Structure 1
């Protein structure tokens, strides 16, 4: 029998039922290669199943049993289907377990008394019974198929309506037998560093003989995927450097005047990074650089230095902030520094358009004094109004994707692009998400900043905390009180800012308390923020609208209610709103009996203020999630890869991709044809996505 090429369409193959084609299409499985790249989500060792549990557990169990009884009940709009599963070989000591599905009537048609089932799920105690709710399950219908589903390491692939897991397994088994596996392109070059390529990698990843073989196959396929990602990133980086730009040298005169008048000394880290960026802007290629640093490390001053260099070179510079509050704060800070030098500063948000020089046309071309423009990310879509855009600074990069960045870089005026992180990024993610950028890192906080003490406290301690807060307010300090929601939710039992605001007004009387959140109109929001900045309000009750960039040096206390509801990096970012002056500051993380990972992340913040340590801890606690593989990045999915477990593979893949492109920048070598085709295919897909 001749083997079929990997691009062969699934539809029309004799072993692919026509009734399954629509479900395959919904999963994006159109060809034999697509089907073979539909990797298992997990594996079950069905040579020996778990024993039926005696009690509830947070660990999922894989059980095999026989359905002794089923029932279907209605309680108003709720429909419940239950099946009682027993272990035939468990004896008298084995307890049956109840399988339960809510509002899924089709399950009733799939499970009948006497059926043999494999089920997977967490046992819970419900009304003194052990129940697995909405378990994954397979019905073992005949002995003929048992060898594929039983007595082996069994793969569990992603399923869909119309394509249950056991059918997906059977189709993939057919595909392995009928596909020319040697024709599936492998990117990692033979003979390079790392283990030699496994000839049987596709069979080993889908139907391994043991977990050691499975892991070896998985790592090889991950190596291919990661290498492809790094090839794309390295090619993008080389393309930016190669496609030219404009040298924007500046004179340095205006910046010298700014630096002389600063009320603080720049850190060595700031000076080093400023020099890196200045040299990049002065070169005749487009800058595409990531600036990352901890909260309060002085990123904004570094950005201003670059914007002044663009201005001195006869070009406009634009800073894009993620929120209107932050845009307005940058605008006021820049005006305070730049008005004495008569450098025009423009504010452009959805609700405010202001000009420091009093002009009506905020983007009026003035080659002798091009404007510095501050706004929200919406500026990207109003870019036609820029006459000579020389530098774009993007604040809080994670809200601004690669495709938008590419749109900026490809403008005819070839602006330099500087993207800034809100918090440090773990190294593995930096070299993945931002591998197409040069990277600058700020390592030190400016001198003269007070120490921040972080304390994790149960809500029972609130009366003592209020007494402490009143004492600090009487001494002239200011405070933030942060809540996770704006209004009370029926679904989440969490405190809400608007409800608690009245409580704090009474508790802290006569100290003035204000409130700010995302639903307040922009004018009112700015009025409240101005009152807080200028000291007319002692306390600001807020949601995470204050998360990024708000700078009030006299604010030395932050109380975060329901702190376990926030993410670790978000809590660190919020904490960065205090400790901006010379005084000691306190961040109090309140929780109501938090346990497990919720308490663990609060304890991380109590132990360290180092944003890089916190970023690594956050990655370990949460996992990388769907960090890449979305339209935002323009990169392929990670597939079987895991950025934490496989960080060594990503590092090796990056080194190899850079080495190969240094040897063969155009990938013209005959041994690099598959690599070249892969990069070109991704570039076309990215272009189509960008419209």
Structure 2
């Protein structure tokens, strides 16, 4: 049978059902996944001169075994193996912990190389492994991300086995002209040198080639999706311009120039017969929701249904309440569908939706489930776009006849990263705040000054305002010294009793419990709300004027900015108090910049510089891809070159039929089929 890289990893010797399950948990389903499961670092196993090494440095020492190995057992399953190593007329002690099986490999008078941590004071080494220094491929030890279910050594052995068995099946996927242009390694050599480099130079060359390949493959997916969207016949939504203008005039405020600009951009897309796939970026409080309301109304005047998907039930319900008010004097019929919708109500709602009686459906992921059928869906809006991946964006396209898609996010993403996360979308930005928005004064205090801050909080409560207090964790943690929400709410209730009521909101509460607490806070029955970041996105209580964040250095800048945006939504002056004792210069810088600017785009760029892309966007819950090798920030120039190259390839007529692009087209077809995005 012909070997191919798409073979399941279970085809390899020694991979039974349990091991295969452990590999799948690491994202390794096929041999190709295993071969591109690259090391995140290398141990330099080349033998060093003992006079050139620093204390606590990890090194390889080579010498002659000068004493019999002695094994001492202590405690349950614990042991220590000691022997002496003669190096250049001096004798050094070697200790291995919990590796008793090494006894068989150690004989007096034998030449031996030990890799471990050097202790300069004791002139000894704590061994990690015994290595063969004469094997060039072992000069650098590849270290892989492992898990409790599968050990480092097992991954190393499987990678070696897979490479030896499948190396002849590895073909170049980057087109030959680009390999020559950028002097990249052939793919077979690149994969070999990523796992088994014989020098730092070989490792660097392989990483350079792998970074470009990874970025090009991602950008190709984005460009193919974008072209597919633009080439797909979408819906030409011929809305009633007079009714739309009349609706905008009924709004109790004047739109900003930025809002007018993006409304025009989106309405142009609606009219076009091409499929719209647009991202609307706007800072906290910039008025994205009203833009969404206007463009949904436009689609509704043309006889189409619209849908708005939010990441949480709290946010979905808030949108439903707000939009019901906005559309109160219009014939728009607004409905809400979430996981909490009761079966009988759900059945009635779905029947009305299928009959075309509902113009605007708001909800969570429930909107894209099987059984939710629309009569005439024309426009889909996803709010807090960074919470939804490419696959979920695609799932909505399958509902109805290719409805136009608008995504919104209040997490400002610098243009550099928007290229990466949303490469298949057109981008609109609302870059000004509505008139009358109060600037929020931000201060940073150390935890020993928190009591003074609470005196200020009491003054705000006396003045009739409400307060948010945010903390990172729900319960006590042995490992993290953080204020947890439960203990903090009890302490604050004691502090402010009997004058004020303290509420508690966290992620482990049932949806109905969360809703009850939020309803009481909005109604003013709760004056001070202690919360984890459940309230981060979109919650709107105009009477709240203080956001106090404990252990603020444990949040990213974008997250802090989102939290800060929960206040300053009414007419009163508002405040954000950061309580933090940062442990390093980076933490101090993050607290300082929060006090210096309220511009989300400035903060997002700074967050990128300080923390890198993965943490900023929260890779696991975002549309942002988790790259194996490339770093979109450190390697931004490579990312941009890869985007230009991908654009040029896809713009070529019948690019996928050109001989040099055959392997690339085949690779992409497999990738896109796997994510269920294209046929």
Q: TM-score, normalised by structure 2?
A: 0.83
Match of 1:108 among 90, 96, 100: 100
- Deviation of 1:480 after TM superposition, in Å, equals 0.6
SS in 2 for 1:276: helix
State the partner residue of 2:492. 504
The correspondence of residues 600-679 of structure 1 with structure 2, limited to 5 A, is: 600-625=589-614, 638-679=627-668
Match among 551, 556, 568 for residue 562 of structure 1: 551
Q: Equivalent residue for 2:73?
A: 72
Following TM superposition, by how much is the alpha carbon of 1:413 offset from its aligned partner in structure 2, in angstroms?
2.6
1:557 Cα deviation after fit: 0.8
The equivalent of 2:449 in structure 1 is 461
Shifted more, 413-422 versus 623-632: the winner is 623-632
Partner of 1:104: none
Cα distance, 1:27–1:320 mapped onto 2, change above 3 Å: closer
Summarize the Cα distance change of 1:617–1:208 in structure 2 as closer, same or farther, 3 Å threshold. Answer: same
Give 1:451's aligned residue: 439
Q: Tell me: CA distance 1:5–1:690, structure 2 relative to 1, closer, same or farther (3 Å).
A: closer
After superposition, where does 1:41-56 map in structure 2 within 5 Å?
41-47=40-46, 49=48
Counting matched residue pairs gives 658
Note if 1:186 corresponds to 2:173.
Answer: yes
Alignment of 1:205-604 (within 5 A): 205-206=194-195, 208=197, 210-352=199-341, 361=349, 364=352, 370-381=358-369, 384-489=372-477, 492-509=480-497, 510-592=499-581, 594-595=583-584, 597-604=586-593
User: Contact 1:52–1:96 at 8 Å: present in 2 too?
Assistant: no
Is contact 2:386-2:624 (8 Å) kept?
no
Q: Corresponding residue for 2:669?
A: 680
Cα drift, residue 347 of structure 1? 1.9
Q: Distance in 1 between matches of 2:528 and 2:275?
A: 45
Q: Could you tell which deviates more after superposition, 249-258 or 277-286?
A: 249-258
Q: Using a 3 Å threshold, how does the CA distance of structure 1 residues 508 and 34 change in structure 2: closer, same or farther? A: closer
Whole-Å separation in 2 of the counterparts to 1:30 and 1:611: 39
SS at match of 1:185: coil
Q: Could you tell me how far 1:206 is from its partner in structure 2?
A: 4.9
Asked if the contact 2:40/2:143 (under 8 Å) is kept, the reply is yes
Query: 1:88 Cα shift?
Result: 4.9
Secondary structure, in 3 states, of the residue corresponding to 1:384? coil
Higher alpha-carbon deviation: 271-280 or 154-163: 154-163
Q: 1:285 Cα deviation (Å)?
A: 2.5
Matched residues in 1 for 2:180 and 2:412: separation? 31
**Scaled by the length of structure 1, what TM-score is found?**
0.81
Change in CA separation of 1:111 and 1:43 when aligned onto 2, cut-off 3 Å:
farther
Query: Are 2:194 and 1:196 aligned?
Result: no
1:139 is aligned to 130
Deviation digits for residues 79-136 of structure 1, max 9, x if unmatched? 43445587754988x98686556xxxxx4334668485644679999xx99997xx8x
Give the Cα–Cα distance (whole angstroms) in 1 for the partners of residues 621 and 579 of structure 2: 37
Call closer, same or farther: CA 1:530–1:85 in 2, change over 3 Å: farther
Q: 1:557 and 1:91 mapped to 2: Cα distance?
A: 70
Check conservation: 2:333, 2:358, Cα contact below 8 A: yes
Cα distance in 1 for partners of 2:350, 2:32 equals 55
| Superposed displacement of residue 470, structure 1 | 1.3
Residue 52 of structure 1 contacts residue 95 of structure 1 at CA under 8 Å; is this kept in 2? no
Structure 1 residues 3-50: Cα deviation after superposition (integer angstroms, max 9, x where no partner): x9986989999xx9x568999977588999777645443234444549
1: CA distance between counterparts of 2:9 and 2:424? 39
> 8 Å contact 1:40–1:206 — kept in the other structure?
yes
Looking at structure 1, the residues matched to 642 and 10 of structure 2 have their Cα atoms a distance apart, in angstroms, of: 38
Please state whether the residue corresponding to 1:229 is helix, strand or coil.
Answer: helix
1:461 deviation in Å?
A: 0.7
